[in-house]
Amino acid sequence: MDSVLAFLLGVVIIVIGLAVSIGLHEIGHLVPAKLFGVKVTQYMIGFGPTIWSRRKGETEYGLKAIPLGGYISMIGMFPPAKGERVHADSTGFFRGLVQDARDSSTESITPGDEHRAFYLLPVWKRIIVMFGGPFMNLLLAVVLFGVLLMGFGVSQASTTVGSVSACALPATSERQTCEPGDPAAPGAAAGIEPGDRIVSVAGEPIESWNESTAIIRDHPAKPVAFVVERDGETIELEVTPMLSERFVIDEKGQVVTDASGEPLAESAGFVGISAAAETVQQPVTAVLPAVGENVAGVAGIILNLPQRIIDVANAAFGPEERDPNGPMSVVGVGRLAGEIATIDEIPIASKAATMVGILGSLNIALFVFNLIPLLPLDGGHIAGALWEGIRRGFAKLFRRPDPGPVDLAKLMPVTLAVVVVFGAMSALLIYADIVKPVQLF
């Protein structure tokens, strides 16, 4: 029963966090729109039936049953058509979509509010209104990653020995347990013990685990002086790293992979010790780089989304495992949060840090995804405003008549196609997260 309650608590935390993130996203649109004089008739969190609403001034604020999105309604989103009116009932389905969008935009403008239509705003103001939503998600992500990195801290390798291998096996070996006849690991043979803090290696003071690793890898078959601190005493040891096949690591201590994603291996010195982890609070200067890395990661997933979706489909309908770094639906994220909440071995502080990290990553995803330059996403409106600015700029430069606002209503057929594609991808991800969820443990 306790595990069920813990699972539900993890899911509820993510749902509430997502709803708050969506609400702040819409506030990012609402505030500049009102400041610029646009009439906003609705501010809603969620989709489906309205479960609560209240009107304040000219705007209705409310909550809907499905907290997986949100919107604000601004009058006059699309400009009226130029020239002769085109009727939806005589020009086919797609032109009907275009005309319906224009008619809906026109009908939203009440008498006396004609000057408050969204499409009448200068280009730069429209960009601010549409970028305000994603910007709020980016700002929230910065705050959450600040709490995660500066408050909770990051688990990283210390200079203390966490474990000592009894034998030496190549990194690429399929067998990772010692058997009779395996060569003894140099660290164990030299007397290094778990809990020893490495003070220096080969006469070089050690400030990080990567420093000791680099020296060891560069000294195969050569005696190396180790100075460790054990129970308050300084002990000198002599260790001879053996030449062994090890994975290639970069300056951050991460395994280097080839183009296919397989880890690269090389012959290097090996002692057979691993670091104990410690949680270290990061400086404020670490926050923005971390956010930037997450933005780049999400952008990479989106740029490769077709292949990623194919991989998800292959996993959902075949024997393949899900990629833990691949796309995931809200259902998958909630399930993952619930599973983390049920693991007794994870301390409460670590669980809280994980929830903060998940919400930070969700806001990064909302920021990047909404900037895709396709309607109905914010990026589509921003792209339309930028194109209008370019057209009007060239017209002014060459002293031509003002071409007027860009008619984004003409893109309604494309918008419909985008909605259908995104809907299909969402359905696939939800199905995959139910039948073949991502396994992190």
- Of 79-93, 237-251, 271-285, 362-376, least confident by mean pLDDT is 79-93
Average pLDDT over the chain, rounded to whole? 86
Instruction: Please indicate whether residue 388 is annotated as part of the active site.
Output: no
pLDDT at 97: 63
Catalytic residue (choose from 26, 114, 236, 339): 26
pLDDT digits (tens, 9 = 90+) for 254-297: 777 777 667 777 888 888 888 888 888 899 999 999 999 999 99
Give 199-206's long-range contacts (Cβ < 8 A, gap of 24+): 199/227, 199/228, 199/229, 199/234, 200/225, 200/226, 200/227, 201/225, 201/226, 201/227, 206/159
In the chain, the percentage of residues whose pLDDT exceeds 70 is: 93
Is residue 88 pLDDT above 60, yes or no?
A: no
Q: What is the mean pLDDT of residues 314-325?
A: 84
CB 211 within 8 A of CB 198: no
CA separation, residue 63 to residues 45, 93, 334 (Å)? 5, 33, 20
Instruction: For residue 355, give the 3-state DSSP assignment.
Output: helix
pLDDT at 370: 93
Instruction: For residue 287, give the 3-state DSSP assignment.
Output: helix
Is residue 215 pLDDT above 60, yes or no?
A: yes
CA distance 369 to 185: 49
Concatenated DSSP letters of 309-327: HHHHHHHHHSSPPPPTTS-
Higher-confidence position of 325 and 162: 162
CB 210 within 8 A of CB 251: yes
- Of 88-97, 164-173, 315-324, least confident by mean pLDDT is 88-97
Start-to-end CA distance of the chain, whole Å, equals 21
Structure tokens at 370: 């909404």
Is residue 85 pLDDT above 50, yes or no?
A: no
Q: DSSP state, 21?
A: H
Is residue 136 pLDDT above 50, yes or no?
A: yes
pLDDT at 90: 40
CB 427 within 8 A of CB 329: no
Structure tokens at 74: 């601004």
CA distance 118 to 106: 11
The values of phi and psi at residue 10, to 5°, are -60, -40
Higher-confidence position of 181 and 158: 158
pLDDT at 128: 96
CB 164 within 8 A of CB 185: yes
pLDDT at 69: 84
pLDDT digits (tens, 9 = 90+) for 380-427: 999 999 998 999 888 888 888 888 888 887 888 888 888 899 889 989
Q: Binning pLDDT at 50, 70 and 90, where does residue 91 land?
A: very low
Is residue 337 pLDDT above 90, yes or no?
A: no
Q: What is the mean pLDDT of residues 316-321?
A: 85
Is residue 66 pLDDT above 90, yes or no?
A: no
Highest mean pLDDT among 69-78, 131-140, 294-303: 131-140
- Helix crossing, 378-397 with 123-146: angle to 10°? 140
Q: Binning pLDDT at 50, 70 and 90, where does residue 316 land?
A: confident
